[in-house]
Amino acid sequence: MEYTSLTIDSALAGEPRARVMIIYTGGTIGMARNSFGVLMPFNFSHILEHLPTLRNLQLQLVVTSFVNPIDSSDIEPRHWQAIGEIIEKHYSTQNGFVVLHGTDTMAYTASAVAFMLQNLSKPVVFTGAQLPISELRSDARENLITALEVASTIREGVARVPEVCVCFGGTLIRGCRAKKVESMHFDAFQSENYPLLATAGVAIKYDDRAIQLAGTAKLHVLKRFDTGVAILKLYPGITAEIVAPVVRNPGIKALILESYGSGNAPTAAWFVGMLGEAIQAGLLVLNISQCPGGMVVQGKYETSRGLKEVGVISGSDMTVEAAVTKLMLLIGEYGVEAAKLRISSSMAGEMSARSS
């Protein structure tokens, strides 16, 4: 992945209070209208022209941009790898990182990067916008300024938020707990199963109880992804003819079952039997609820007991975005059998205590 870097000394005078790298991958936040009124990615080396108030933050900014900015709908694991490698390369020289990303798949990328960056001790803050930064009513300015403030804040020599997070619409959310829920309003992301890390009003109010402690070991970056992961969303009336090609697809190594409620699924013999056969053949099947809040508790109702008996693994309260990226990374790094053992253990605070 090709990218360019440029250092911008945005401090008004004297030494900057922190050094923050902005990684621009693409997305609405980096758009401006050209002379024909068409939205195009602008050169982030000119960010101070669009947002001169950045000087008040007293930061030294390093702007790193993908040579070919991408729409977030086109995000692939190779882009996650590129983001991880950029952070790894510049980790020792920066106090924090802000990743500018399209909103549609930001929760996937934030989850993937959270799992990649083991022993993280510095902020990696994802943000974007629903409207381009050049628009009069854009949310981009507030999101970017808040993200930079979070990424640069140090307390007693330690980063205030030493984890991957999403800063959007006045809230700060753990990256692997975030989910996009809005396409028409500025409060685009929610975290149903975990408290907000911070809220931004007149001041930024942090919740220390929710924020992870900084890693004490050396940063270790996991980079190998395996895309052999599929999702099967249940719905009333689903048939064997629909399920069989997915479950028996020789190209997949893991299947995410989007079940009802607390992990419930049809009790039909053909359905449970088909899953059991696939699991016996080596497929990893992970149960994730379709509900944005709550968690999977297999066996709580009769309609989930059969899944537990055939070897379906509970995904607890993970989001689908976290489940997909975690499975891809675990399988890519360690293989399917090891992933079966590791998937129920938290890697980056993405799930609550293990459920049945």
Q: Identify the residue with better confidence: 139 or 49.
A: 139
Active site residues: 28
**Confidence category of residue 38, pLDDT binned at 50, 70, 90:** low
**Is the separation of the CB atoms in 237 and 271 below 8 Å?**
no
Give the pLDDT confidence score for residue 45 in this predicted structure. Answer: 64
Cα distance between residue 331 and residue 279, in whole Å: 15
Range from 39-48, 125-134, 311-320 that averages highest in pLDDT: 311-320
Domains and CATH numbers, the chain: 3-221 (3.40.50.1170), 229-342 (3.40.50.40)
Mean pLDDT of 158-172: 97
Share of the chain above pLDDT 70, in %: 92
Mean pLDDT of 220-241: 98
Q: Which of 80, 1, 24 is nearest to 326 (CA)?
A: 80
**Which uninterrupted H or E stretch holds 337?**
helix 336-342
pLDDT tens digits, 95-140: 999 999 999 999 999 999 999 999 999 999 999 988 877 676 778 8
**Is the separation of the CB atoms in 321 and 178 below 8 Å?**
yes
Cα distance between residue 167 and residue 100, in whole Å: 10
**Confidence category of residue 313, pLDDT binned at 50, 70, 90:** very high
What contacts 211, CB < 8 A, 6 or more positions away?
Answer: 160, 161, 162, 163, 197
**Confidence category of residue 308, pLDDT binned at 50, 70, 90:** very high
